[in-house]
Every structure is written in C-alpha cells, then in structure tokens.
C-alpha cells in the first residue's frame, strides 16, 4: 500500500504544512477538486482560519489555489464521507506526530549545540586571559568599561596594556561565553566576508 501522507506532499510555509485543494482531494479519494470545494463552501466559517489563498506555478502557468493547513486537512477529512477519509485521518495524525517528534529532536540538538558553543567560548576566554596575564576581575572591568561606551578599543588597549585587536578578541569571547554570537562587525566588513566562516 502506498503512503497516503509524506512530507513531500506538503508545502511548508510560515512554519506550517499546507496541502492544495487538489492534493487534499486526491488523498480523500475525490475525482476532482469539487468534492473538497463543496465541503469548504458548506463549512467555511469553521475552515476559514485554517486556509489561505496562494499562487502556484505549474507547467509554466500561475494559478490561484486554496491551501489547507494541517488542522484544515484534518477537519475536511472528518467531514468527508469517502472510503479513504478514515485511512487519511490516521495517516495524517501519524505524520504530524512524526513531524512534531523531529522538531523536538532538532530543538534539543540545537540547544545542545548552543550550550557546547558557550562552553568552548568560555574555555577559549580562559586561555586568552592566561595568555594576556589578565585576571578575571580585569576582564570584567574591560567589559564594564566597554559597555559604558566612553572608551574606544584603542583607549581600552592603552588602559589594559594590550593591543586594540586583543581588546576586540577578549570582548568577543566574553560575549560568546555568555551566549551572544551576534556579528558586531561594521556592515562593509560583513559584506566583504559574506559566506566566509571566521
């Protein structure tokens, strides 16, 4: 038996999965889109929040289509009286459960990666403080002075007897160890190194 629902059947838009009227109709066993359209017309007040209009190109032509999100697909499937509707509901529920499970795994992996990046930055910071013969309190004073905005990197370098480049390096490591990985370089430098990992 072929799978009734696969991820490739759906459009992914605005963090949600969508099926066109035609695709939904096929899955429910309708001969054409009119079956789903009739269900929509009879129940538009209930279905409207779970649909949207969009333009899709197919075979060089752009046409207006109605899309149903996951909840809309499920409601239409509940209202359809075709033999395939029951099997489609089961397949859709299983598919959505798999997707949510994968999203949760991805979120956990991403969280672990962020934690690991912070740990690595903290280790690098500790190494740099040792290399520059900087105490932890001197590093915190450097960050506090930078946050006031009163001194440039060059002036901070003079105060702490390190180069402006090393001031920037330490400040970057402090930010990273706190979980802030924002690129703070001027725009012209970001454009020059676009796509280059630094």
- pLDDT, tens only, 117-163: 888 888 888 888 888 888 888 888 999 999 998 999 999 999 999 99
Whether the full predicted model's pTM is greater than 0.85, yes or no, is no
Would you list the domain boundaries of the chain?
7-106, 132-189
Write the CB contacts of 176 (distance below 8 Å, at least 6 apart in sequence): 117, 118, 121, 124, 125
Count CB atoms within 10 A of the CB of residue 35: 19
Q: Is 148 exposed, middle or buried (0-12, 13-18, 19+ CB in 10 A)?
A: exposed
User: How far lies 8's CA from each of 72, 93, 107, 153, in Å?
Assistant: 18, 16, 22, 52
């Amino acid at each position: 038996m072929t799978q009734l629902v696969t991820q490739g059947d759906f459009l992914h838009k605005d963090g949600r999965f969508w099926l066109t009227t035609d695709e939904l109709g096929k899955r429910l066993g309708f001969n054409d889109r009119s079956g789903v359209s009739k269900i929509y017309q009879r129940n538009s007040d209930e279905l409207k929040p779970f649909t949207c209009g969009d333009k899709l190109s197919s075979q060089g032509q752009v046409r207006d289509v109605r899309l149903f999100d996951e909840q809309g697909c499920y409601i239409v499937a509940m209202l359809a009286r075709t033999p395939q509707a029951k099997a489609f509901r089961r397949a859709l529920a299983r598919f959505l459960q798999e997707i949510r499970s994968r999203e949760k795994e991805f979120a956990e992996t991403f969280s672990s990666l962020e934690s690991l990046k912070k740990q690595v930055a903290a280790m690098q910071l500790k190494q740099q403080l040792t290399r520059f013969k900087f105490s932890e309190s001197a590093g915190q004073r450097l960050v506090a002075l930078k946050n006031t905005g009163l001194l440039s990197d060059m002036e901070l370098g003079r105060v702490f007897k390190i180069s402006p480049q090393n001031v920037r390096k330490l400040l970057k490591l402090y930010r990273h160890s706190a979980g802030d990985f924002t690129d703070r370089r001027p725009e012209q430098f970001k454009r020059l190194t676009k796509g280059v990992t630094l």
